[in-house]
Amino acid sequence: MTSISHPYQKLPVFPQIIAAIISGIIAFLGVLLIWTLGYQLVYAGRIFPGVSVAGVDLSGLTRDEAAVKLSQTLSYPFTGKILFRDGEKAWVASPVELGMTFDPSSSAATAYQLGRSGGWMNSLSSQTRALGGGFNVPPVIMFDQRVAYQYLSQIAAQINQPMVEAALRLEGVNVVASSGQIGRELKIDATLIYLGAQLQTFSDGEVAFVIQEIAPQILNVDAQAETARQILSQPLTLTVPNSTDAGPYVYDAPVLANLIGVQRAQDQEKAEVRVALNAEGLRNLLTPVKAQVDRLAANARFIFNDETRQLELVEDSKVGRVVDLDASIAMINEALLRGEHAVPLTIVEDHPKVSGYATGQELGITELLVSETSYFYGSDIERIQNIQAAAERFHGVMVAPGEIFSMGETMGDVSLENGYAEALIIYGGRTIKGVGGGVCQVSTTLFRTVFDAGFPVVERYSHAYRVSYYEQTASGASDPRLAGLDATVYFPLVDFKFKNDSPYWILMETYVNVSARTLTWKFYSTSTGRSISWDTTGPANIVSAPAPLFEENPDLRKNEMKQVDYAANGADVTVTRTVYQNGTVLFQDQFNTHYQPWQAICQYGPDSKKPEKLAAENHLCLSPSS
């Protein structure tokens, strides 16, 4: 019978091979272990061969011996050189000056631990590496950064410099330009990092400074300085186009020097300095010029013909001119930058609202709304002159729908040059001679016309005391019901204003009858069905006038007396007005007036006897009637 062998019958050979390999490895490891233990035993208490610190061989030495050798051999902290450099400047310091000290004992201990830490395999690896090619252990140093910081701070005082922007200034009319400066700062903390790394190498070397530079936005302003000098090279001459009654206005270099401004401008790419005349200063310079040049447009003036019911032209409209300050300021600066010193002001035409071709139907001026008359019996020639001069300003003047009318703005400057005379006015608690006395006869008449027409009063001030002129009637008698219906104007401090709240224009006409001592004020427009009723408390809370004051006047003769102020009792008056529109109440308002008690003042010549008796004999400084 033939026998058949199975393939797996030879399998027991492989376990024998594997077992042999494992046995070999174990034997090898055992030999290594025995060698390592023996190696360590041989060098027990001594540094393994091939170990050095900073290039000093410490093979076979004990820790103490190694420490002694290191201290005797390594003098780097004292003899080493660290170089710092900034451009052409250089500084050299020894490591000890920078706060470095060397610890030989700790360095020897570190060398001794090489091959004795990190587990058996790591120890064997370190020992083998040292024995085969040597192992240089870094020295143990101590670095006191406070010492290095102090050293570097002294250097920083020489390196650091502030960033300075270029500047432009004026010394009188002289332009002085100074260039900018790049700022530099030694970053000590960052430099210390590089210094520490260099000291750790235990070798001479250069440590780079960490310096931060800050560039100014503007480094040079020479071009701008030249522009400023060009601006100051000639006087600036401002002209008014198409005018023979204003300008030219000439400003020399010292004036311009006070106006030159240096402005910093920043766009998306860079900053720059721009030289120009300061806008606000230039505006202040041009403001009085504007006051002289401006001629506001004037509406046409008319009177209403009561027979034909048509407007008749009294004075044609006028186109005005206005200085455009913003545009003029820009024009001046642009011209100066071009080197031009003769600059026309920018003038804008101001067109009137009402031309001489307007008709009553277009404006809604179709009938007489109200007419009011006041009386000024006893007025002297100067007071009458002022009433005429002021009233004339309003004859033919129109008020637009919705407009708040200012009496002061329309009347303008009350001065001798404008036809006014000196007459009695109330000023500083006294009745004295002053330009324009009597103008309040006109403002009072306008107030009463507005009052009767039913228009809203926006601003109104009464007199300080009761004035007899404003309570006179046609007969010349005084009517206390008229107390509290006066208005004073001392523009621009005190004004009278009312609002035309109707949809139609108002035409005002004023008439002064000197012989009759009357002032009549008329409003023409289109009636909206408005009417009024009113009531008054009359003078209440009467306070008697103070006793007369007697003053000596050296300009008067002995026993001559003159009264310069007149007594008036104080009082409170409340006038209530109700305004109706087609029989329905439109609004109601009150006018509250407080009159101060006023003292009579009489003046007498030197050496006069008993001025009180003298006043009684001359019927002066009498007590007022209630």
- Residue 591 sits at φ, ψ, to 5 deg, of -125, 105
Work out the pLDDT band at 123, boundaries 50, 70, 90.
confident
Residues 500 and 368 both lie in one domain: yes
Q: Within a domain: residue 54?
A: yes
- Rounded Cα–Cα distance for residues 40 and 48 (Å): 8
Does residue 167 sit within a domain?
Answer: no
- CATH assignment of the domain containing 573: 2.20.230
Bond from prior residue into 539 cis (ω within 30 degrees of 0): no
How many Cα neighbours within 13 Å face the side chain of 371?
8
453 vs 50, higher pLDDT: 453
Whether residue 489 is predicted with pLDDT greater than 50 in this model: the reply is yes
pLDDT of residue 607: 87
Contact 450, 383 (CB under 8 A): no
- 614 compared with 25, residue with greater pLDDT: 614
Cα gap 600→623, rounded to integer Å: 8
**328 shares its domain with 374:** no
pLDDT band for position 228 (cuts 50, 70, 90): confident
What integer pLDDT is reported at residue 83 of this predicted model?
A: 96
Is it the case that residue 2 has pLDDT exceeding 50?
A: no
At residue 617, does pLDDT exceed 60?
A: yes
* Residue-wise pLDDT tens digits, 457-481: 999 999 988 888 889 999 989 899 9
123 lies in some domain: yes
Lowest mean pLDDT among 136-150, 151-165, 213-227, 262-276: 262-276
Tell me which long-range contacts 468-473 makes (C-beta under 8 A, separation of at least 24). Answer: 468/378, 469/374, 469/375, 469/376, 469/377, 469/378, 469/379, 469/441, 470/374, 470/440, 470/441, 470/444, 472/374, 472/375, 472/376, 472/377, 473/375
SS3 624: coil
Evaluate if residue 50 carries a pLDDT over 70. yes
Same domain? For 471 and 329 the reply is no
Q: Is the pLDDT of residue 391 over 60?
A: yes
- CA 416 to centroid of chain Cα atoms: 41
Give the length of the chain: 626
Q: Quick one: pLDDT at residue 269?
A: 61
Q: Tell whether 319 and 237 lie within a shared domain.
A: yes
Residue 114 in tokens: 């090489």
Is the separation of the CB atoms in 301 and 356 below 8 Å? no
What residues contact 12, with CB distance under 8 A and at least 6 apart?
A: none
> Does 533 have pLDDT greater than 80?
yes
State how beta strands 342-344 and 236-239 pair: parallel
CB 384 within 8 A of CB 420: no
- pLDDT, average across residues 226-238: 88
Q: At 129, list the tokens.
A: 């590496």
Whether the pLDDT of residue 3 is over 50: the answer is no
Q: Which among 318, 350, 382 is the end of a domain?
A: 350
Half-sphere exposure of 462 (CA within 13 A, CB side): 22
Question: Are 576 and 520 within one domain?
Answer: no
Q: Which of 293, 315, 350 is the last residue of a domain?
A: 350
Domain boundary among 137, 158, 179: 158
In this structure, is residue 269 part of a structural domain? yes
**Sequence letter at residue 430:** R
Domain identity same for 399 and 547: no
Q: How many structural domains are present in the chain?
A: 4
Residue 130 burial (10 A CB sphere; 0-12, 13-18, 19+): buried
Window from 11-15, 57-61, 107-111, 142-146 with minimum mean pLDDT: 11-15
Phi-psi region of 99 (alpha: psi -120 to 50; beta: other; left: phi over 0): left
| Residue 84 lies inside a defined structural domain of this protein | yes
CATH number of the domain encompassing residue 300: 3.10.20.800
Residue that has been written with the tokens 């008449």 in this structure: 445
Where residue 175 falls among pLDDT bands split at 50, 70, 90? Answer: confident
Q: What percent of the chain has pLDDT over 70?
A: 90
Residue span of the structural domain in which 245 resides: 222-350
Based on the number of CB atoms within 10 Å of its own CB, is 16 exposed (0-12), middle (13-18) or buried (19 or more)? exposed
What integer pLDDT is reported at residue 267 of this predicted model? Answer: 59
Averaged pLDDT, 28-56: 77
On whether both 364 and 338 belong to a single domain, the answer is no
Q: Which residues contact 137 (CB under 8 A, 6 or more apart)?
A: 51, 52, 53, 107, 110, 111, 114
pLDDT band at 270 (very low <50, low <70, confident <90, very high): low
Phi-psi sector, 318: left (phi>0), alpha (psi -120 to 50), beta: beta
Percent of the chain with pLDDT over 90: 52
Amino acid at the residue 150: Q
216 vs 213: CA distance, rounded Å:
10
210 lies in a domain? no
Q: What is the full DSSP assignment across 493-515? A: TB--EEE--SSS-EEEEEEEETT
What is the pLDDT, as a whole number, of residue 4? 46
Residue 432 and residue 374 in one domain: yes
Instruction: Give the per-residue pLDDT at 206.
Output: 95
Query: Do residues 40 and 112 both lie within one domain?
Result: yes
| 546 and 412 together in one domain | no
Asked, for residue 258, whether it belongs to a domain, the answer is yes
Residue 510 shares a structural domain with residue 548: no
Same domain, 466 and 383: yes
Residue 399 pairs with which residues in a beta bridge? 506
User: Can you tell me whether residue 408 is helix, strand or coil?
Assistant: helix
Under 8 Å between Cβ of 580 and 530: yes
Is residue 166 included in any domain, yes or no? Answer: no
Higher local confidence (pLDDT), 63 or 521? 521
**Predicted local distance difference test score (pLDDT) of residue 199:** 92
